[in-house]
């Protein structure tokens, strides 16, 4: 079900930057403790697999699902920013995946780096 967004206005870069910083802060809150816990357990292949799955879950939930269902990430929603199409509707699941593609590429590089460390 596609929800229609009302009263659409362009948001300036500074406000989007603050939303990005808030998202980054939330990623750190959810990412760092689990990463430290996994590294304290061991740094075996199985641990790296858990790390990768957790990273994909974070990206999938915070970026794809929230943008698709609610119209933005936690930072954007906190600052009352909605991601909409030119038709003023929330983005589809495919569009949310395409928007998240750079995060996925960065995660792949991070996973490859950790695999060879």
Give the separation between CA 95 and CA 68, rounded to whole angstroms: 8
Query: Which residue's structure tokens are 């357990």?
Result: 41
**What's the N-to-C CA distance of the chain in angstroms?**
45
Q: What's residue 43's pLDDT?
A: 66
pTM: 0.69
Write out residues in the chain with pLDDT < 70, as ranges: 1-7, 43, 45, 114-117
Under 8 Å between Cβ of 3 and 89: yes
pLDDT at 79 (0 to 100): 92
């Amino acid at each position: 079900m596609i929800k229609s967004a009302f009263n659409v206005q362009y948001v300036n870069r500074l406000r989007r930057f603050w939303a990005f910083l808030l998202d980054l802060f939330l990623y750190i809150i959810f990412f760092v403790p689990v990463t430290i816990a996994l590294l304290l357990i061991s740094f075996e292949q199985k641990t790296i697999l858990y790390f990768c799955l957790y990273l994909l879950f974070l990206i999938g939930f915070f970026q794809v699902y929230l943008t698709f269902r609610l119209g933005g990430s936690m930072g954007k929603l906190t600052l009352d920013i909605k991601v909409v199409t030119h038709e003023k509707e929330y983005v589809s699941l495919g569009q949310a995946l395409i928007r998240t593609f750079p995060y996925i590429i960065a995660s792949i590089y991070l996973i490859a780096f950790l695999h060879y460390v």
